[in-house]
Amino acid sequence: MTLQFIHISDTHLLAPDQVKDFTGIQPELALYAEQVLSLPYHTYTAAEMLVRQINGLPVHVDFVLHTGDIAGESDIDYARMAQLFQQINYPVIYVPGNHDRGADISSLTQSPSSPLDQHEINGVQLVCLDSTHADIPDAGWLDDDQLNQLEMICRSDDDRPLIVAVHHHPLPIGVQWLDDLRLGNGEVLHSILMQARHRLCGVFHGHIHHSIDMMKDGILYSSVASAAYQFTGWPGHRQTSLDMAADPGFNVVTITHDQTFVRHHRYRLLP
């Protein structure tokens, strides 16, 4: 085995004593907001359960990858998230989501972060992209700087295995409500990644609150369930809502010299 990591996403953590203020929210998101407030548990409780689940795994992993929508929109949420996730037995690498726009993600890692963030772990290159955009409320967009940097990475003479992480789903999943909020220039990203297809082990993303694997032109796009709450929505559906019956989850990703394994794990949050 070359590398093993846990893929988590969409913890949407609110501090225990906070109730998010949804006044002024766009009308089309009002139903969603109302449903989040009526969850039978708090997202902080869900995050605590996630930490226990990760620390209780019977296998060792090299790191945890969080693909965004980490917390709410207040600094207090991020401070509490940092405190809580410090209890995880492994280092956590964070990618910003649309709900983290403007948040200081580097405060979670105590290190400066740049829009395109690079790591090397066990000889594997990990590239984290920032798909949040100030002018596009909840959908994603990769700016030219990141696309140019990524193009150089993908064209370079490099034989290290490559992993890419981004919050928004680059390609449509067939549920219109979610696809309207996807990465607007996902096809451009895909065409750049094609240049590194021979060493690309997968693109890992969140945002859709679904656990889906998709292949296009030999490139794996893998998403993970939310650690807080799931969405309904099947291919062909126009609308979605919260899926109160679906359990939270995370994926365990194993990279070997010639294969990528994604094990989708779900666990009960409510008795």
Q: Reduce the DSSP state of residue 4 to 3 states and report it.
A: strand
- In terms of CB distance, is 97 or 161 closer to Fe ion? 97
- In terms of CB distance, is 178 or 255 closer to Fe ion? 178
Minimum CB separation from Fe ion for residue 40, in Å?
Answer: 19
Span of 59-67, 95-103, 172-180, 183-191 interacting with Fe ion by CB under 5 A: 95-103
- Which residue has 């996630």 as its token pair? 50
Span of 4-12, 39-47, 79-87, 252-260 interacting with Fe ion by CB under 5 A: 4-12
Residue nearest to Fe ion (CB): 69
Asked if 69 touches Fe ion (CB under 5 A), the answer is yes
Q: According to CB under 5 A, which one of 7, 10, 225, 248 is a site residue for Fe ion?
A: 10
- In terms of CB distance, is 150 or 178 closer to Fe ion? 178
* Beta carbons of 228 and 12 less than 8 angstroms apart: yes
- Of 86, 77, 67, the C-alpha closest to 43 is 77
Minimum CB separation from Fe ion for residue 224, in Å?
Answer: 11
185-214: contacts with Fe ion (CB under 5 A): 207
| Euclidean distance between CA atoms 14 and 24, whole angstroms | 18
Asked if 77 touches Fe ion (CB under 5 A), the answer is no
DSSP state of 247: P
* Beta carbons of 125 and 118 less than 8 angstroms apart: yes
Asked if 117 touches Fe ion (CB under 5 A), the answer is no
Asked if 97 touches Fe ion (CB under 5 A), the answer is yes
Q: According to CB under 5 A, which one of 4, 11, 43, 98 is a site residue for Fe ion?
A: 98
Minimum CB separation from Fe ion for residue 104, in Å?
Answer: 18
The structure tokens listed for 97 are 């989501």
Q: Reduce the DSSP state of residue 106 to 3 states and report it.
A: helix
Span of 26-34, 65-73, 152-160, 214-222 interacting with Fe ion by CB under 5 A: 65-73
Number of residues that bind Fe ion (CB under 5 A): 5
Could you count the other beta carbons within 10 Å of the beta carbon of residue 74? 15
Span of 64-72, 82-90, 104-112, 214-222 interacting with Fe ion by CB under 5 A: 64-72
- In terms of CB distance, is 69 or 77 closer to Fe ion? 69
- Of 211, 230, 270, the C-alpha closest to 36 is 230
Report how far apart, in Å, the C-alpha atoms of 150 and of each of 169, 202, 220 are: 17, 15, 17
Per-residue DSSP letters for 171-200?
S--S-HHHHTTSBTTHHHHHHHHGGGTTTE
Residues forming contacts to Fe ion in the complex (CB under 5 A) are 10, 69, 97-98, 207
